[in-house]
Structure 1
Amino acid sequence: MKGLKFSAASQAAQALGWIDPVTKAVVPPIHMASTYQRDEDNAYSSGRVYARADNPTFDQAEATLAALEGGAKALIFSSGMSAASACFLALAPGDHVVVPKVMYWALRNWLATFATHWGLEVDFVDAEINDALAAAVQPGRTKLVWLETPANPTWGVSDIAAAAEIAHKAGALLGVDSTVATPVLTRPLEFGADIVMHSATKYLNGHSDIIAGALVTAREDAYWTRLRTIRAQLGTILGQTEAWLLMRGMRTLFPRVQWACRSAQSMAERFADHPMVADVLYPGLPSFAGHAVAARQMKGGFGGMLSIRVKGGERAAIATAARVELWKRATSLGGVESLIEHRASIEGPGTPCPPDLLRLSVGVEDGNDLYDDLDQALRRAHNA
């Protein structure tokens, strides 16, 4: 968009205002081609060689996401896992990384198994405590510090600015998984992060119909070049149709996230006094340990994710999930439909997730309906 300075919400809604130059369509086409013709002089004046490296359908989604995060460039990947793992594969065997104890379980498991066997030295720390993070970083050896904030599924909040200072002082990069916050609430690059990762399957797409991932960089440097190379050489690119659907979903990102934030905040406050709930984990509650940091780096809301710990333990939690009617019992988050999950059952042995915890992804349904449904499920489970 040119001329006036428009808000991020307007930029997202119009996908930067791009218009197809050939047809003048306000919705971009899907480019299905897997290869591109050379010029008569054997050059590629289009700048494109083969679709494993990129595709024109990626351009608008990547440009829009880079603008929303305030970054230099973005890359979309075939999944959140492929985007996140690329950040570690871009390092060298023997490099040291510091990651949170509480984080997306699949990435945590990959780091504890494949990454260590491949040669990375991985330290899991309480990344919500700055002193613990600083103690784990080894100047000259640590190459990447990784945060997830808010952290799935207990929603602890890490101080991005403090972590950036710690990482950069030691000569390391800072990567932030900002899937839950989204650029609607937090822009980690503004707090000193070098790389932002999203499981774009979640809020960016918002409709539970694709698997996708994304990275955004503060600058185009040698590390970013390695990330581009990894995506091309490993073939972890997004399909053309999925890229188009991702862009479509991002156009409604702001109203979806804002609605979910309002409902989640109200629900957290109401469940805090519920007789069948032992604890509510949500950054928007003043009693929550990470609230002060969240209030400083999350603008406009505290996210659509919260967890409740059910009185009666694991059995009561599972029984509650079995009795919901509007909520859907399913893995994932960030979609228009509200999801409930007994997370410890998914993560299995070794999980740091309490067995009495139910993870809630608040969608765009009526917030009162969502509360009433979970309230009746808690009461029926308690009386069973």
Structure 2
Amino acid sequence: MVQSFPVIDLHAHWFSPSTLHILGKRTEAPRIGQQGDSLAIWRTGAGAGKGGAFPLGSQWTDVNTRLAHLDEAGIAHQLISWPTTLGVDAALPAAETLDLWTAWNDETSSLVRQHPDRFSAVAALSTSDLAWSARELARGHEKLGLIGGVLPVNGFFSRASAEQFRSLFEVAQAHHSHIYLHTGFANPVIAGQPPNIIYDDNEAIRWVIDNGFHFASAIATLAFTDFLDPFPDVTLQIAMLGGSGLGALAAEQAEVSPRIQVGSLRHHFRQIWLDTGAAGSGSAAVAAAIRVLGSERVVFGSDYAPLPDVRSTLERVRAATSYDPDGQRSVLSSNALSLLSRHGGFPVHLTAFKDTAP
């Protein structure tokens, strides 16, 4: 059967030229430099791995490489965000990062303006200077054509940590922002985050387990407290299916448990969408999230750049939704089109599909 809808990818990253320049001047992690014949970024903290070096292929910086791959894979449009996984914001104070975020936002805005049919973007924000971030979020909307901001998920690990972002969410409400919560820790000035544990054994597997716990905890904060009540016009996208589907399964348990009595999950997730980024791209996890929350709460995300090929993730999501053509269309296309339309980022070349978005 021929696919009759555009695939929209809401989880993708890139490094602008200024990123390479600013982090390339650093001599200690986090820094970017040569590793053999290619670039790498050296990280710190949990998930960094031994030596802390993460290779950076050309897809991180070369727009033509990206566009060619998206065409090959059949991806019509991407939402671009800063990769909070890399821990730059968590490792450095505001004095050493605000120029980085400002330049990334400016250059990402330029990329979107050059290719409005292919890209939308959310602003990189600081968690060490939230007053600056409130101003930068407003500038992103008013001057740069960005549709929201990206923040590290562990900033919302608890209600106590989330409360420190209240003034930023007030600005987000005023601008009807799309806030993207991605993997990683906020700066240590944000209290109430989980411990940043570096393991001596099975570090990669233990990081996956901790990461699922972190995302599920953010869902507990945002879906099952009243934190979002004053911000009804803000949408939340949570990466990695909210912890490889763990957040959705915990929500189901909350719904059926006689001890908790949370009521309808549809109400609790009315502002929240989960994406299928790398740690949430398994077919079983995608199917579980859809079963619990419905296909209208899941959006496709490839995690492109860290992952140089979107096709394996796309095929797993297609496999998980193959039994339900309408649900597959919701996950791969119409949910994202609805979000982009709501936030003023609707790709003009996809106008013909606008009426099909929920």
* Shared fold per TM-score greater than 0.5: no
Q: Which has the larger radius of gyration?
A: 1
> TM-score normalized by structure 1?
0.27
TM-score normalised per structure 2? 0.29
Greater fraction helix: 2
